[in-house]
Amino acid sequence: MADFGGAFFLDDWVDVVVLRTLDGHTVPVSGSILVDLCDEEPPGPDLLSELMDSTVRVTAGEGCSLFVRDSLRAIPVPALFAASPWLAASRPVIVRDGNGLAGGLLVRYSDATGLRIADPEADRDVNQDQDG
């Protein structure tokens, strides 16, 4: 597997679930079900589907620095995500009116352009397209 870079690849990314606040409530960007990150029970099937559809894989080396990846990894995994094997390694990124702060990084999200992360090391934005 090392011949194909498998060992490096597994350490080269972090999954983030992009959430937005609307009227004081938190919802996935690809959904409308309210999210309680402190809930210690796994999300139900409908919420899990919306959270998975709102997940973006941020990969170092594809226009994203190791600093950005490590800053996102430093965000604690919330109880709701830890309760699900599908989300146990994911970090939340919360935006309000399309802007937010995650792991000390400025982030922007729009349905048209996806997740953009300000990379202070490169002094530019990293565009992470959303699959889903």
Domain assignment of residue 132, yes or no: no
Provide the number of structural domains found in the chain: 1
* Whether the predicted pLDDT of 7 surpasses 80: no
Residue whose pair of structure tokens reads 């490096």 in the numeric block: 8
Model confidence pLDDT, tens digit, residues 85-123: 999 999 999 999 999 999 999 999 999 999 999 987 765
* Whether the predicted pLDDT of 83 surpasses 80: yes
The two tokens of residue 9 are: 């690849």
Range of the domain at 92: 2-127
C-alpha 79/C-alpha 56 separation (Å) is 19
Domain assignment of residue 12, yes or no: yes
Looking at the chain, list the stretches that DSSP marks H as alpha helix, in order from N- to C-terminal side.
6-10, 45-53, 66-73, 79-82
pTM summary value: 0.84
For residue 125, give every residue at least 6 positions away whose Cβ sits within 8 Å of its Cβ, in sequence order, or none.
Answer: 108, 116, 117, 118, 119
